[in-house]
C-alpha cells in the first residue's frame, strides 16, 4: 500500500524525468542539426549501433531498428556509398555481410557525441559537488533498473523502446 508521501514522491520523480526528457531532446536536436546535412536520423541510428557494437549484419540492424531488412538496407547502402560504413561480404552468403564503421563514420559519431558531452559538461559544472554526486547516483540507479530488466518496457506505448536504448 502506497502512502500519500510515496505517491507525491513518485509524481515528483516522474515530473522531474519529464523535464529532463525535454532537456535531453533539446540537446539531441541541437547536435543533430550539426549532422543533418550528412545523414538522416535512421542512418545516424545505424552509425551509433555500429559505433557501440560492431560488426553487425543487416538482419541485426533491421531488428534493432524495428523494421524489415529492405527498410534497413536502403539507409545502410547510402552509408556505404558515403563511405561512413564498410560492408565486408561473406563469401558464402552475401546477405550475411559484416557492417562496420569506417574511420570517417567513427569521426562523425565521435564529433556528435563530443558535442553532446560538451553541453552536458557545461550544465554539470554549474552543479554543487554534492548535487553532482547525487545526480551520478540517481542516473546510475535509474539505468540499473532498465539494464537489468526490472521494468517491462516492451509493453510501453505502441512499440518497444528497447531498440532505442540499446
**Domain ranges, residue 137:** 127-166
Instruction: Find the angle CA(48)-CA(70)-CA(98) to the nearest 5 degrees.
Output: 50
CATH classification of the domain holding 58:
1.10.10.10
Q: Would 17 be classed as within a structural domain?
A: no
Q: Mean pLDDT across the stretch 123-136?
A: 95
Q: Mean pLDDT across the stretch 60-65?
A: 90
The confidence score (pLDDT) of residue 1 equals: 66
Q: Would 106 be classed as within a structural domain?
A: yes
Q: Structurally, how many domains does the chain consist of? A: 2
Kindly state whether residues 38 and 69 are assigned to the same domain: yes
Q: Would 48 be classed as within a structural domain?
A: yes
CA distance 72 to 63: 9
Q: Mean pLDDT across the stretch 3-15?
A: 90
Mean pLDDT over all residues of the chain? 86
In terms of pLDDT, which residue wins out, 29 or 91?
29
Tens-digit pLDDT profile for residues 69-123? 889 999 999 999 999 999 998 777 766 789 999 999 999 999 999 999 999 999 9
Tens-digit pLDDT profile for residues 140-166? 998 888 777 666 665 554 445 555 554
Kindly state whether residues 53 and 117 are assigned to the same domain: yes
Kindly state whether residues 108 and 92 are assigned to the same domain: yes
The confidence score (pLDDT) of residue 164 equals: 54
- HEC per residue, the chain: CCCHHHHHHHHHHHHHHHHHHHHHHHHHHHHHHHHCCCCCHHHHHHHHHHHHCCCECHHHHHHHHCCCHHHHHHHHHHHHHCCCEEEECCCCCHHHCEEEECHHHHHHHHHHHHHHHHHHHHHHCCCCHHHHHHHHHHHHHHHHHHHCCCCCCCCCCCCCCHHHHC
Amino acid at each position: 500500500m502506497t502512502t500519500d508521501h510515496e505517491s507525491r514522491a513518485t509524481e515528483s520523480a516522474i515530473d522531474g524525468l519529464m523535464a529532463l526528457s525535454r532537456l535531453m531532446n533539446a540537446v539531441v536536436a541541437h547536435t543533430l542539426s550539426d549532422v543533418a546535412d550528412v545523414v538522416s536520423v535512421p542512418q545516424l541510428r545505424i552509425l551509433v549501433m555500429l559505433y557501440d557494437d560492431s560488426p553487425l549484419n543487416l538482419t541485426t540492424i533491421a531488428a534493432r531498428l524495428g523494421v524489415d531488412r529492405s527498410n534497413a538496407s536502403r539507409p545502410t547502402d547510402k552509408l556505404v556509398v558515403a563511405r561512413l560504413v564498410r560492408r565486408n561480404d561473406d563469401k558464402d552468403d552475401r546477405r550475411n555481410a559484416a557492417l562496420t564503421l569506417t574511420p570517417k563514420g567513427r569521426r562523425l559519431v565521435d564529433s556528435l557525441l563530443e558535442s553532446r558531452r560538451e553541453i552536458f559538461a557545461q550544465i554539470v559544472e554549474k552543479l554543487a559537488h554534492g548535487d553532482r554526486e547525487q545526480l551520478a547516483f540517481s542516473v546510475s540507479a535509474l539505468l540499473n533498473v532498465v539494464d537489468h530488466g526490472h521494468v517491462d518496457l516492451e509493453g510501453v506505448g505502441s512499440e518497444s523502446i528497447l531498440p532505442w536504448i540499446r
